[in-house]
Structure 1
């Protein structure tokens, strides 16, 4: 098995792999790959066997596999992590801080917890009052993403407002990733955010895909990596990025 390469900062995570070909394309320029499980009705949903297979393929390709889930059952998630050997769990829904605390206690210590903070279009951050509680509960990394007008979350393709991101950053004492309609051409709009010491990279679904096939495209991923991750500096090879406790 190929050893996972050290995670850089900034890093590129591509989200929603469903086939071995997606893993191969991701490995041409990404550092992490999101695998959906427990996302009811999700276009990229994987059953447990598919999740285990793609997680193994990702590790063999030098990628960090990330479980992306709406689930809120700590014991079930911890069991899934152990069986599939994912490196991070990304809580991409409205799981409360108490659930994060329980999950941290149930997970192997080396597995990172990523909590999504949802930015409403034309509004603020849904979880803003709970950021401190999430950090104390054991969140290692935040991911800033957008919701749609009807409340849809996850891979919406909606652009993340740079001004609203900047407004939120003083509240964060954990590192963060950006998501939400990011493209190579959109990189200059986030210059101030990218210079923030907590910035760790981006999470992309739509812009990582070949428009003609809907699958991950090597050219698209390479363009994202060039725009957002050029001149990056390796950080210690530890999937939790920074300790939370």
Structure 2
């Protein structure tokens, strides 16, 4: 089971979540107005910091939709995964996969709002285009996506996961205390791990090692 901690902005945060047992660190780039959006320089520096930990893989998290630009960025900074957050069409995945054959893993977010996923009908197209795995996340009623703190229903997650042939990560309001709400998700053969942000931040708003360790322990417990 993988734990991805999203939204690092400092080297200290990267080291803290690595020491707490996380497996992936999300680095935002091309997220206009995002609280953790990084310049290209900072993205490269933190991806390099992740490599020095010896355990963390870095994930470029973006709303971007220019495949060539994304491929150049991923190659230049050496991120391991690209997470397409937002509503990029399958054609973007196909073009990105062609630019990065067999290297960077491509993650497509599937957004769920009021129990419905607007991209559900495109899942097969995303898979044929070269999506390696999906991330299931909640959208607020007013349309906000990413780091909303809203939680998905266990049955909604598994019903959507049943429509894919790829593995998936779960996001959306996950905390150390609500693992038991996702029994069916945890048992699903496609379940790969979780993605968290706000639940592991300290009072200053930075990613916190102790809170990350508590969450990792709770979710990775057998």
Give your verdict on TM over 0.5.
yes
Look up the match of 2:64. Answer: 71
Question: Counterpart of 2:162 in 1: which secondary structure?
Answer: helix
Question: Counterpart of 1:171 in 2: which secondary structure?
Answer: coil
Measured after TM superposition, the shift of residue 107 of structure 1 is 1.3
Measured after TM superposition, the shift of residue 108 of structure 1 is 4.4
Question: Counterpart of 2:86 in 1: which secondary structure?
Answer: coil
Q: Deviations over 1:63-119 (max 9, x none)?
A: 100000000000000000111000000000100001100000001422100000001
1:80 aligns with 2:79: no
Look up the match of 1:103. Answer: 96
Counterpart pick for 1:217 among 191, 208, 216: 208
Look up the match of 1:22. Answer: 13
Q: State the alpha-carbon separation in 2 of the partners of residues 220 and 141 from structure 1.
A: 27
CA contact (8 A) 2:155 2:184 kept: no
Question: Counterpart of 1:27 in 2: which secondary structure?
Answer: helix
Q: State the alpha-carbon separation in 2 of the partners of residues 144 and 18 from structure 1.
A: 23
Return 5+ residue gaps in structure 1 as ranges: 1-9, 232-245
Counterpart pick for 1:45 among 37, 44, 47: 37
Measured after TM superposition, the shift of residue 185 of structure 1 is 0.8
Measured after TM superposition, the shift of residue 164 of structure 1 is 1.0
Figure out how many residues of one structure are paired with residues of the other and give that number.
220
Alignment of 1:147-186 (within 5 A): 147-186=139-178
Question: Counterpart of 2:97 in 1: which secondary structure?
Answer: helix
Alignment of 1:178-197 (within 5 A): 178-197=170-189
Look up the match of 1:241. Answer: none
Flag the structure with higher helix content: 2
Measured after TM superposition, the shift of residue 151 of structure 1 is 0.7
Q: State the alpha-carbon separation in 2 of the partners of residues 44 and 183 from structure 1.
A: 20
Q: Which has the higher contact order (CA 8 A, sep 6+)?
A: 1
Counterpart pick for 1:115 among 108, 125, 129: 108
Q: State the alpha-carbon separation in 1 of the partners of residues 159 and 74 from structure 2.
A: 34
Measured after TM superposition, the shift of residue 162 of structure 1 is 1.3
Question: Counterpart of 1:194 in 2: which secondary structure?
Answer: helix
Alignment of 1:48-59 (within 5 A): 48-59=40-51
Measured after TM superposition, the shift of residue 123 of structure 1 is 3.1
Q: State the alpha-carbon separation in 2 of the partners of residues 60 and 208 from structure 1.
A: 22
Measured after TM superposition, the shift of residue 196 of structure 1 is 0.9
RMSD: 0.9
Question: Counterpart of 1:201 in 2: which secondary structure?
Answer: strand
Q: State the alpha-carbon separation in 1 of the partners of residues 26 and 193 from structure 2.
A: 14
Return 5+ residue gaps in structure 2 as ranges: none
Question: Counterpart of 2:137 in 1: which secondary structure?
Answer: strand
TM-score by length of 1: 0.88
